[in-house]
Structure 1
Amino acid sequence: MSENRREEVDSALADVDFDKFNYQVVFETSKGKIRMDLYPDVAPGHCRNIIGLTKIGFYDGIIFHRVIPDFVVQVGCPQGTGTGGPGYTIDAEFNNLPHETGVLSMARTRDPNSAGSQFFICLGRVPHLDNQYTVFGKTCDAESEAVVLEIGNVETDHGDRPLEDVQITGSEVVVSEK
């Protein structure tokens, strides 16, 4: 079982105010920078979770452990295997936003309320994920989308793991006034 990071995350969220501020998470990867706009109006719990995890540096050094062309790139497991998380789970916040290129959505097990730290970014339109997984953000510019698509084109083994590690080398939360 992964170490429970809930207390650290909650502490990092003390100054988060969705009424006054807009939030982005920025992931510097070994393939380039991915800027993600967050959607707290439809998934406030998921947005708070990724903001908190980013603020405590949880994602720094983690690899994209699953890449499926024309589907998704997945990251957020501290072990790099797809089996780990932050030691806690959050409840689903399904909404009507479509899973399309650049969409940020939360990975989970068969249990809808099992999400933790793993997320995926869509490489195209994936309608069968709609209303089954929580959409809570999207790439905010063409450059970020291009980096995601480049990660989606890396060579993988039979288990969808990249042959060459693609890593989040650093991350930050960008806050701006509304």
Structure 2
Amino acid sequence: MPSNEQRRQAAKRKLERQLERRAERARKRKQMTIGASVFGVVLVVAAGAVVYSLTASDEGSDASAQASETEDTAAATMPTARAQTLPATVDCSYVPDGSTPAKAATLPNATAVSAEGTVTIDLATSAGPIGLALDRAESPCTVNSFVSLTTQGYFNDTPCHRLSTTGLMILQCGDPTGQGTGGPGYGFDNEFPTDQYDAADPAASEAVTYPRGTVAMANTGQPGSNGSQFFLVYDDSPLPPQYTVFGTISEDGLATIEQIAAAGDDGSMAAGGGKPNTPVQIRTATVAA
């Protein structure tokens, strides 16, 4: 039977290991939130290039720490709904960004935009169908823009240019150039869940779980930088709550994306991931009747 001194020494070693692991995770979380180049796609806007900072997960902690200290390693839970319901209609702001659009698009209507109900979008892709249910109550201005672009045929004959299968589990689409550099020529601000946080609150930059089945907008990390690029989350992924959530993916759509992910990517992007090994072309995007 171990002596009291042996038990004290064992407890001390255990505490030291826990403190070391926590310090290491804190260091990695800091790198994760400020290292925009870890997972990103480049978007050319106006005169310069900016980065879609889709942040990597906090990896590297050992299995025992994950099992014994779940509360320290898991990303926080994203809010599931707005703290306060929006009015029936809202006004939006879509601002030309001065860039040459990758594909011609007109500005969406910005007044009396509905903040109620859902919109079903059918993406007919070369890899299979992907159905989206867009939630106006969560992010009405984002849904309004996406529906406007859909009805203009903006997403027709465009590729899903990026797949990530490590850290982030996403398929990214919405750039007609297929290079991660294209947009519609205008931008707009983040909505849910970003607007549920005080920008000065440290929680606004800490990772939360974007759950499997989420549809969210890619952005540059700057206000007003949402455009046409969006990402489809096919497995839980940790990100700061700075990417607008505006809908969910159908089960059939998730099955399609999982088949794409199973084939992997070409690793062509220095920021992480690459073009899907199974090319994915959105043939048509339509608003379901």
Q: Is TM more than 0.5 here?
A: yes
SS in 1 for 2:186: coil
Counterpart residue identity of residue 238, structure 2: P
Alignment of 1:134-173 (within 5 A): 134-140=244-250, 142-158=251-267, 159=269, 160-173=274-287
SS in 1 for 2:254: helix
Deviates further, 56-65 or 150-159 = 150-159
TM-score of the superposed pair, with normalisation by structure 2? 0.54
- Aligned partners of 1:30 and 1:162: how far apart in 2? 12
SS in 2 for 1:152: helix
CA RMSD, 1 decimal: 2.4
CA deviations 1:137-157 (Å, max 9, x no partner) are 0013x2121012222233322
Which fold has the larger relative contact order, with Cα–Cα distance below 8 Å and residues 6 or more apart in sequence? 1
1:113: Cα distance to partner? 2.3
Please say which structure displays the higher CA radius of gyration: 2
Among 72, 80, 99, which residue is 2:178 paired with?
80
SS in 2 for 1:150: helix
SS in 2 for 1:57: coil
**Residue of structure 2 in register with 1:93 after alignment:** 191
How many residues matched? Answer: 169
- Aligned partners of 1:31 and 1:153: how far apart in 2? 12
1:47: Cα distance to partner? 0.5
1:72: Cα distance to partner? 0.6
- Aligned partners of 1:163 and 1:5: how far apart in 2? 30
Aligned-pair identity (%): 31
State whether structure 2 residue 155 is matched by structure 1 residue 65. Answer: no
- Aligned partners of 2:275 and 2:137: how far apart in 1? 33
- Aligned partners of 2:214 and 2:257: how far apart in 1? 10
- Does the aligned pair in 1 maintain the 2:146–2:228 contact within 8 Å? yes
**Residue of structure 1 in register with 2:213 after alignment:** 102
1:109: Cα distance to partner? 1.0
Structure 1, gaps ≥5 residues long: none
CA deviations 1:25-66 (Å, max 9, x no partner) are 110001111111111111001100111111111001111111
**Residue of structure 2 in register with 1:6 after alignment:** 106
- Does the aligned pair in 1 maintain the 2:142–2:246 contact within 8 Å? yes
- Does the aligned pair in 2 maintain the 1:36–1:138 contact within 8 Å? yes
- Does the aligned pair in 1 maintain the 2:105–2:152 contact within 8 Å? no
- Aligned partners of 1:94 and 1:82: how far apart in 2? 23
Which runs of at least 4 in structure 1 moved beyond 6 Å after TM superposition? none
- Aligned partners of 2:219 and 2:262: how far apart in 1? 23
**Residue of structure 1 in register with 2:148 after alignment:** 52
SS in 1 for 2:239: helix
SS in 2 for 1:49: helix
Among 222, 233, 244, which residue is 1:122 paired with?
233
State whether structure 2 residue 224 is matched by structure 1 residue 113. Answer: yes
Counterpart residue identity of residue 43, structure 1: S
SS in 1 for 2:288: strand
Structure 2, gaps ≥5 residues long: 1-98, 197-207
Counterpart residue identity of residue 229, structure 2: Q
- Does the aligned pair in 1 maintain the 2:160–2:173 contact within 8 Å? yes
SS in 2 for 1:74: strand
- Aligned partners of 1:103 and 1:24: how far apart in 2? 14
